[in-house]
């Protein structure tokens, strides 16, 4: 097993984000996706966590399965929401026992009405707990457009800098403009932060995905939206979305980003097309 922090110290990383499927059909689809993505030689793959007790086993089983049955390096997501401190500590210990060295520590979305909020309020507390357990390379989330619940841009960057004072790296929510990513890195640098920040890449392959990203707090630049809406039918929109993502990836790499983190939604085709467009070789 390899710590992601060590990978990033040695060079660029290329990684994929997956989620635990809920159905047998979803599990079969994810298995095919893993087979298709493995030849690309990603640095690591991350597995999301929905929050609360219902996510414990699906995420653990998927990261453990990837660890045991593939050559891929897994990273487990974990959120504070819906858990006591003791429960989170138990999850962290079980991950270490399963040989999982890499962790994405997240605050998580607010629980639905009536559901327990959890004992830890912020991702920083989860980072501290993971450090106490020991053995993890720890990532945290960054919001280029500012977290929707942040009081201000300054407060958002201050709290992110505090997380990165203890964590090893950050992965952003979806980025759609290189300028947005560079502004985030510059603002962290002004606060004395030099940890690697990996941009999250989400190809916009349908018009509905524009609204979905806005709901998540991401900013889709008007010029990007205009190109997608002018594309025509579904196939044309998808093609333009792949082209836009490829252009963004190249611009990010040219600007010095330490890698790319592809949010796959358990599908491989868009990521494989972007790899091919960038001229990236298998295992690069």
Helix (H, G, I), strand (E, B) or coil at 48: coil
103: which strand partners?
A: 76, 138
Radius of gyration, CA atoms only, the chain: 18
- What is the CB neighbour count within 10 angstroms for residue 172? 22
Q: Return all residues near 205 (Cβ < 8 A) that are at least 6 apart.
A: 237, 238, 241, 242, 270
Q: Say if residues 19 and 48 touch (Cβ distance below 8 Å).
A: yes
Cβ-count burial 48-66 (b if 16+ within 10 Å, e if not): bbbbbeebbebbbebbbeb
- State the catalytic residue, choosing from 10, 17, 25, 125: 17
d(CA 160, CA 208): 30
Q: Say if residues 195 and 170 touch (Cβ distance below 8 Å).
A: yes
Q: Say if residues 178 and 255 touch (Cβ distance below 8 Å).
A: yes
For 279, phi then psi, to 5°, come to 70, 25
Concatenating the DSSP letter of every residue in 227-275 gives HHHTS-SHHHHHHHHHHHHHHHHHHHHHTT-SEEEEE-TT--HHHHHHH
Q: Return all residues near 149 (Cβ < 8 A) that are at least 6 apart.
A: none
Q: Return all residues near 235 (Cβ < 8 A) that are at least 6 apart.
A: none
For the question of residue 17 being annotated catalytic, the response is: yes
Give the catalytic positions in this structure.
Answer: 17
């Amino acid at each position: 097993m390899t710590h992601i922090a060590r990978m990033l110290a040695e060079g660029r990383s290329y990684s994929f984000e997956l989620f635990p499927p809920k159905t047998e059909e979803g599990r079969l689809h994810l298995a095919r996706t893993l087979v298709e993505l493995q030849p690309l030689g990603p640095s690591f793959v991350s597995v999301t966590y929905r929050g609360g007790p219902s996510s414990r086993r699906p995420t653990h089983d998927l990261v453990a399965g990837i660890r045991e049955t593939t050559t891929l390096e897994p990273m487990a997501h974990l959120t504070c929401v819906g858990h006591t401190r003791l429960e989170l500590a138990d999850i962290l210990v079980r991950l270490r026992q399963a040989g999982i060295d890499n962790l994405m520590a997240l605050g998580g979305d607010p629980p639905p009405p009536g559901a327990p909020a959890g004992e830890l309020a912020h991702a920083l507390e989860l980072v501290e707990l993971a450090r106490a357990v020991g053995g993890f390379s720890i990532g945290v989330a960054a919001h280029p457009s500012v977290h929707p619940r942040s009081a201000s841009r300054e407060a958002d960057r201050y709290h992110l800098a505090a997380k990165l004072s203890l964590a090893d790296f950050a992965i952003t929510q979806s980025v759609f403009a290189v300028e947005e990513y560079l502004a985030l890195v510059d603002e962290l640098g002004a606060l004395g932060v030099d940890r690697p920040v990996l941009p999250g890449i989400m190809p916009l392959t349908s018009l509905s995905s524009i609204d979905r990203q806005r709901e998540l707090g991401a900013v889709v630049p008007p010029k990007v939206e205009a190109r997608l809406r002018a594309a025509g039918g579904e196939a044309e929109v998808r093609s333009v979305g792949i082209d836009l993502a490829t252009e963004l990836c190249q611009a990010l790499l040219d600007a010095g980003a330490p890698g790319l983190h592809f949010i796959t939604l358990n599908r491989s085709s868009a990521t494989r097309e972007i790899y091919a467009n960038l001229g990236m070789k298998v295992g690069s």
